[in-house]
Structure 1
């Protein structure tokens, strides 16, 4: 529970900081600012999802608990891959690794699927 609470709070805190940074540092380019802000938005929503994972991790057992753990890792790695790629591209106009953003997006989707599975597996 503590690791998910920590990660949710960490990603929430850094999303707020990134939002402020992007707003001020990218004010000259609306398109890059929009890409950066999409990363901030996804990071914040999934930081909140990690807080839900923290809560659920104390209430689930068995297969449901495993699904919640999968969701937590998928959200955490997905945030770094998806939002991190958008941040990097917005600041450098270069892709750090082709396919990293879509892979991060797929991880975020898988995280939601794992949470859905935890609801079905829960007893």
Structure 2
């Protein structure tokens, strides 16, 4: 699992840089200010959580159910949250908004919140086991 987490963190990080550059240089011509802001939100959250995946990939051994669940919540949460925003913004800019993605964004957000809660639980557990 550790390798999957680190690979996803690296891929999400690289894509965040690519999408950020794409948004800053190419999409300004096609998106209004609100759409561009939404796209940038997806990129920011993707990068924050790419870094978080790398952090958890380094500090956790992924031996327990809770640590594995936390990792999947981060991975899927980023995918559902950020990529649904990209889909909504880009499809709306083309006049064919994919409305079915609307409920996917909060689902991704919920998974990210649950991942952060599990991160906190796991950090406390590891700290207690080390005597902190």
Q: TM-score, normalised by structure 1?
A: 0.88
Q: In 1, are the aligned partners of 2:84 and 2:102 still within 8 Å (CA)?
A: no
Superposed, 1:50-65 pairs within 5 Å as: 50-58=53-61, 61=63, 65=64
Runs of 4+ residues over 4 Å off in structure 1: none
Q: In 2, are the aligned partners of 1:39 and 1:87 still within 8 Å (CA)?
A: yes
Aligned mate of 2:117, from 106, 109, 113: 113
- Decide which structure has the larger Cα Rg and report it: 2
Q: Distance in 1 between matches of 2:33 and 2:101?
A: 23
Question: In the comparison of the two structures, how many residue pairs are matched?
Answer: 119
- Superposed displacement of residue 67, structure 1: 2.3
Q: In 2, are the aligned partners of 1:12 and 1:47 still within 8 Å (CA)?
A: yes
- Post-superposition Cα deviations, 1:45-96, rounded to whole Å, max 9, x if no partner, equal 00011001101223x65xxx43222121111101110001110111111234
Q: In 1, are the aligned partners of 2:88 and 2:102 still within 8 Å (CA)?
A: no
* 2:85 equivalent in structure 1: 86
For structure 1, which runs of at least 5 residues remain unmatched after alignment?
none
Greater CA drift, 47-56 or 88-97: 88-97
Greater CA drift, 34-43 or 15-24: 15-24
Q: In 2, are the aligned partners of 1:88 and 1:96 still within 8 Å (CA)?
A: no
Superposed, 1:17-96 pairs within 5 Å as: 17-28=18-29, 29-58=32-61, 61=63, 65-93=64-92, 94=97, 95-96=99-100
- Superposed displacement of residue 99, structure 1: 1.1
